[in-house]
Amino acid sequence: RIMVRFHNIQKTYSNGAKALINLNLQVKRGEFLFVTGPSGSGKSTLLKLLYGAEKPTDGKILVDGTDLAKLKGDRLSLLRRRIGVVFQDYKLIPRRTVYENVAFVLWAQGYTRKEIRRRLIPTLRMVGLQDKAECFPEQLSGGEQQRVSIARAIVGTPPILLADEPTGNLDYDNSQQVIKILKKLNSIGITVIITTHDEHLVRMSDNPVVQLREGRLFHML
């Protein structure tokens, strides 16, 4: 069963930059896929097209069988809820606690306080931050902040998790910890797509890898 499908995707930005060129890719449900490639090769663009932050210049993207271009309004926001996103720079709200940063997603979706509490505890435990719920982001290490952002991405139980250079600002041990959590999430059925320019991280893993070079995609072993 195919979860994500890119069909003949072209992405040219308005300044003329060709970020993706005739890209075809299928990601199976439950897969853990690494997207590698040097800086500027199109990795972020690939994820942005998936979570709807950019639109393709040409071609078609299907998520769980649905053509992204055909989704508007409510149906588009419903689909976005089915895709969790983790960024290199965490994007946490500075004056909110860990608990609030993660709960915010559920508040915005109209969950009750009781339901939020019911979901928050196991989610924070999953990323090892159950004791940091009342901390503010600036009181946490980089690795911990990234784990908050993972908690925020998964608290709504999306079937797809996208991580854009999630280890880009982390040292070796914290990077390993983040990968371990992403693999644990994958093992409970979440489809994970992670971009990284860290060849070492990719070599250590036995997951499928695709590589971008100047906007073109190559399938590795």
Site string for ligand ADP, 40-59 (x = CB under 6 A): xxxxxx--------------
92 binds ligand ADP (CB under 6 A): no
Closest approach of ligand ADP to the CB of residue 112, in Å: 30
CB-nearer residue toward ligand ADP: 17 or 76? 17
Binding mask 157-196 for ligand ADP (x = CB under 6 A): -----------------x----------------------
- Choices 55-63, 86-94, 135-143, 182-190 (CB under 6 A): range interacting with ligand ADP: 135-143
Q: Is residue 84 at the binding interface for ligand ADP, with CB under 6 A as the rule?
A: no
Residue 142 is a binding residue for ligand ADP (CB under 6 A) = yes
Please list, in sequence order, all residues whose beta carbon lies within 8 angstroms of the beta carbon of residue 55, skipping any fewer than 6 positions away: 49, 69
Q: Applying CB under 6 A, does 35 fall inside the site for ligand ADP? A: no
Residues forming contacts to ligand ADP in the complex (CB under 6 A) are 13, 15, 17, 19, 37, 39-45, 139-144, 174
